[in-house]
Amino acid sequence: MNEEDLEIIFETQTDLPQNPRLDQFLAYELPEHSRAYLQKLIDQELACVNGKTAKASQKLKSGDIITLNIPQPVPLSVEAENIGLDIVFEDKNMLVINKPAGMITHPGAGVASGTLVNAVMYHCGSELSGISGTLRPGIVHRLDKDTSGLIMVAKNDTAHQSLAAQIAAKTARRTYLAILEGHLKIKEGVVDKPIGRNPKDRKSMAITQTGKRAVTRYKVLQDFAKYSLVECDLETGRTHQIRVHMAHFQTPVVGDLVYNNKTTGNLAKRAKLGLKGHALHAYKLAFTHPVTQELIELQAEPPEDFANLLSSLKSQNKSGKAEGPNL
């Protein structure tokens, strides 16, 4: 522990109910920090119970002494960049951006520039929440690189905590449009299947019994000869959730380079369809404003490449012609 780090000590009460887990106890006692951040501290062995490092799942009992070391924030090493942003909503507490396909949300894995965070830092200066850490200032949730659409950014910790809590409580609504390859047999339903790291490929995700619960509500809006337009609502926010769930039914997102093993899952064939990313767009967002408590409902129409493909499919559907280029 460095001299500047913060050490917090708790003693559980004699009437401690139901022997909570360590991570549950810390989340209750420290609501100013996200559960993900506290979990990270526990994983880094910065939490002790009765002087011994403990796992998140450790059950606590009356009289336990819990010590948590919270490191001082590391100076941000990401540089601000003057990159144009499509801002759909902004005030002194937060902003909502319509992210283009191809833009990475935050730096990582050797990518230090050209991200949404670089652009937001230039636009907001020092007005960003620090809860998500030094590489993800202000980022409340994320969108995959090749997914376009609406993403929330918090300018202060109060806004960040409120927005993150709404996502966790499923009161913030995030709705996507996707063009799928193939057709879903059941036209409206709920996919409730756990998602975790793919045991055969750690760079991708998969439906696995050891994963975390993932729930996607979907509705088929229109079927075409080979493709379909689907609306998806997220109840949870697992990595690649919609992409994994739709691929599970053998109806992967068109142009998905990871989960589409059918026709359009490579760069060349995606380019023939005129797509810059895969055909997945976060087009609706509804949440309660973290300060005014006003219901905010926003919508961003699909980008030009997505809209052009959809228009082509609709036109060909009416004429009875084959869809898309010769793939």
Instruction: Indicate if the pLDDT at residue 70 is higher than 90.
Output: no
> Same domain, yes or no, for 288 and 187?
yes
Domain harbouring 48, CATH code:
3.10.290.10
Q: How many domains does the chain have?
A: 3
Is 1 part of a structural domain of the chain? no
Is 156 part of a structural domain of the chain? yes
Per-residue pLDDT tens over the stretch 266-294: 999 999 999 999 999 999 999 999 999 99
| Active-site residue (options: 23, 144, 146, 305) | 144
CA dist., res. 203 & res. 194, Å (int): 17
Instruction: Indicate if the pLDDT at residue 5 is higher than 70.
Output: no
Q: Which of 47, 70, 93 is the last residue of a domain?
A: 70
Q: What residues make up the domain containing 63?
A: 6-70
pTM: 0.75
Is 322 part of a structural domain of the chain? no
Is 275 part of a structural domain of the chain? yes
Q: Which of 26, 43, 70 is the last residue of a domain?
A: 70
Is 323 part of a structural domain of the chain? no
Contact assessment for residue 139 and residue 132, using Cβ atoms and an 8 Å cutoff = yes
> Same domain, yes or no, for 58 and 137?
no
Query: Distance of CA 58 to CAs 20, 32, 54, 153, Å?
Result: 8, 22, 7, 33
305 is annotated as an active-site residue? no
Instruction: Indicate if the pLDDT at residue 68 is higher than 70.
Output: yes
